[in-house]
């Protein structure tokens, strides 16, 4: 249970879905509203979720925290020797060169192990679309965050401390990570059908070979109970450590409003 000094809206956005949690001010262990909606694109899913909240009779707060899943982002790993401001500027320049989008928004946080910055960028077009969807209901974006950073922080106690492979299953693919002595060294997005266990194994093992980690511990983190059930047999056969599914973001104890 956390004390919230004000009502807050948490929104998690994927390529075709939106999970939303509305917390009221005060001591709360559960959100006033928690729901998930689908849509053909992120903005459509968000608009549907906001309209669903309105139908419950709850008033929306004036600002929201938006958490974006991997399909909505681009990533860079930068040496942690860079100061935070220098790392942000360097990441923004790299993203702009590779995407041609000078309006993108960049977030930065320390990667597991603390040896690298994890920089995430969202396109200016998506920021504008999500801002317009929220703005139509009188809500402004207070901050934007990367779901990868949120998920790794939540699961930090479960991450291997030595050399390892970590696979996070998403809606449209895998986020693969190589750890050396527990520190994030490499990151790779693999688009694939995550509901086909053989495909998951193929992509994960290909990444392991490229990183020279064929014999390293492998840790797999499914997004939901359905993915967990689909991978249980394969994980047992391969000797992977299959973690429990991530809980809904609404019930992770997001902490007090700031």
Tokens in use for 245? 């599914």
How many C-beta atoms lie closer than 10 Å to residue 170's C-beta? 22
Least confident stretch, 27-31, 110-114, 221-225: 27-31
What is the pLDDT of the chain when averaged over all its residues?
91
**In the chain, what are the domain boundaries?**
1-154, 160-242
Residue 255 is predicted with a pLDDT of 42
Q: Which has the closest alpha carbon to 254: 52, 65, 77?
A: 65
**Length of the chain in residues, anyone?**
258
Angle at the Cα of 71 from the Cα atoms of 133 and 14, rounded to 5 degrees: 40
The answer to whether the CB of 228 falls within 8 A of the CB of 250 is no
Q: For residues 58-97, b (16+ Cβ closer than 10 Å) or e, as one string?
A: eebbebbbbbbbbbbbbbbbbebebeeeebbebbbebbee
Per DSSP, 249 falls in state: G
CA 169 to CA 227: how far, in whole Å? 8
pLDDT reading at 27 higher than 90: no
CB-count exposure of residue 174 (10 Å: 0-12, 13-18, 19+)? buried
Instruction: Establish how many alpha carbons lie within 13 A of residue 248's alpha carbon, considering only the half-sphere containing its beta carbon.
Output: 15
Q: Which has the closest alpha carbon to 103: 136, 80, 78, 129?
A: 129
| Tens of pLDDT, residues 166-180 | 999 999 999 999 999
Q: Which has the closest alpha carbon to 156: 175, 180, 184?
A: 184
Please report the beta strands in 124-240, taking only residues with DSSP state E, as ranges in sequence order. Answer: 140-146, 164-169, 173-180, 183-191, 217-221
The mean per-residue pLDDT over the stretch 32-57 comes to 93
Helix pair angle (124-135, 42-56), 10° resolution: 20
Q: Which has the closest alpha carbon to 61: 4, 140, 119, 169?
A: 140
The answer to whether the CB of 10 falls within 8 A of the CB of 249 is yes
Query: Between 3.90.79.10, 3.40.50.1220, 3.30.420.150, 3.40.309.10, what CATH number should domain 160-242 receive?
Result: 3.30.420.150
Class of domain 1-154: alpha beta
pLDDT reading at 250 higher than 80: no
Tell me the pLDDT band of 257, cut-offs 50, 70 and 90.
very low
Residues in CB range of 144: below 8 A, 6 or more apart:
65, 66, 67, 68, 105, 107, 122, 127
Q: Which residues, in sequence order, are bridge partners of residue 199?
A: none
The mean per-residue pLDDT over the stretch 79-104 comes to 90
Angle at the Cα of 234 from the Cα atoms of 230 and 238, rounded to 5 degrees: 155
The mean per-residue pLDDT over the stretch 137-155 comes to 93
Residue 100 is predicted with a pLDDT of 85
């Amino acid at each position: 249970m956390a004390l919230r000094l004000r009502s807050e809206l948490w929104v998690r956005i994927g390529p075709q879905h939106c999970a939303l949690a509305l917390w009221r001010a005060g001591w709360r262990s559960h959100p006033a509203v928690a729901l998930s909606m689908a849509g053909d694109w992120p903005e459509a899913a968000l608009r549907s979720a906001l309209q669903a909240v309105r139908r419950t009779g709850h008033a929306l707060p004036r600002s929201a925290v938006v958490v974006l899943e991997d399909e909505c982002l681009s990533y860079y790993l930068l040496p942690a020797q860079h100061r935070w401001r220098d790392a942000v500027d360097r990441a923004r320049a790299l993203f702009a060169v590779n995407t041609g989008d000078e309006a993108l928004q960049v977030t930065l946080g320390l990667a597991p192990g603390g040896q690298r910055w994890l920089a995430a960028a969202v396109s200016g077009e998506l920021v504008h679309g999500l801002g317009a969807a929220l703005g139509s209901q009188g809500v402004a974006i207070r901050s934007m965050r990367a779901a990868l950073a949120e998920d790794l922080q939540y699961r930090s106690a479960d991450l291997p401390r030595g050399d390892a492979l970590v696979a996070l299953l998403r809606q449209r693919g895998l986020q693969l990570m190589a750890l050396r002595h527990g520190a994030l060294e490499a990151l790779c997005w693999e688009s694939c059908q995550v509901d086909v266990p053989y495909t998951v194994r193929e992509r994960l093992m290909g990444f392991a070979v490229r990183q020279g980690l064929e014999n390293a511990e492998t840790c797999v983190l499914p997004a939901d109970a359905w993915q967990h059930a689909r991978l249980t047999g394969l994980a047992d056969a391969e000797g992977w450590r299959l973690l429990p599914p991530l809980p809904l973001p609404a019930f992770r104890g997001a902490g007090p409003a700031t």
